[in-house]
Amino acid sequence: MKTLTKEQARAGAMTADEAGEGTVERALQIEGSMAALLSRQSSSLEDWTNLLKVMRTTRPWMHLPTKGKPYGEVFKWTQTQFKVGDEPLGREQLVRIINAYAPNRGKPIVAEFEAAIEQPYVAVAETHGGARPGSGPKPKGSSYPDNLNSCQSDRQRGTSADYLMAQLIAKVGTDVVEQIGPGRQFPSVMAAAVHYGIAKRRVRYEVTPDCNTGNAAARIVEVLGPDKAAELVAALTVCLTLPTTETN
């Protein structure tokens, strides 16, 4: 597959906007998304079709492992980076994964994806200190590599499984995928991220009517910090001193 600049692209090739801002950063995010889907037991057909849709335009195999020497082919990238059980993730494995969610739909969905990526690719220049090409407002419902899955509002940068998996791959390597999942070293992507120092352990404290108020107060200060805890005390005081309104 030949990589074209915007000026070299023939009529009918994708514009920069349609190319989905294919950059190294986006490629790493997609790689994290793929790894997260493979490690989760709760992914869906929609998750995989959304991922393939984004990959049609951003094409991570044209940017990774390095921009100067990319894989160049989609299944060369997937077979190098991912495994399904003990098998490298190739075309046949991808078909089987999709068939697991929608029997007999794997081959047509993968064939449609392969046909789409035969379209000449427009390389999008990466800029510094300004907006990237096509970085303006996007049409409603447009997909992005860091917003691929069904529960999109919960899967943005920071603590989403896709983002954390991308960070894990960058820090630990693709072998980390094999460490995550039921019965493995880490039950979740978050657990692995905490272990490797990428995310902080979530702190929770349940307050019940029969709790020790001294312990609860100390824990609240520990979690919120002195300033925020003081704000909470002020808010509680207001709530306790306001007259209650009874309804008939």
Q: How many CB atoms lie within 10 A of CB 215?
A: 11
**Containing domain of residue 224, as a range?**
205-248
45 sits in which H/E element: helix 45-58
174 domain residue, yes or no? yes
Q: Which of 10-14, 71-75, 156-160, 233-237 comes out lowest in average pLDDT?
A: 10-14
Beta bridge partner(s), residue 84: 87
200 domain residue, yes or no? no
Do 148 and 96 fall within a single domain?
yes
> How confident is the model over 124-171, as pLDDT tens digits?
555 444 444 444 444 444 443 444 443 444 444 445 777 788 788 778
Residue 241 half-sphere exposure, CB side, CA atoms within 13 Å?
Answer: 6
CA–CA separation, 22 vs 126, rounded Å? 9
Look up the pTM and report it: 0.55
Do 112 and 226 fall within a single domain?
no
Do 167 and 234 fall within a single domain?
no
In the predicted model, is pLDDT for residue 174 greater than 80?
A: no
Do 173 and 209 fall within a single domain?
no
- The residue among 90, 91, 70, 74 whose CA lies nearest residue 82 is 90
Do 121 and 233 fall within a single domain?
no
Do 59 and 174 fall within a single domain?
yes
Do 11 and 105 fall within a single domain?
yes
CA distances in angstroms from 94 to 3, 84, 100, 152, listed in the order given: 25, 9, 10, 23
Do 129 and 156 fall within a single domain?
yes
Do 86 and 131 fall within a single domain?
yes
Number of domains in the chain: 2
Do 61 and 162 fall within a single domain?
yes
Q: How many CB atoms lie within 10 A of CB 8?
A: 12
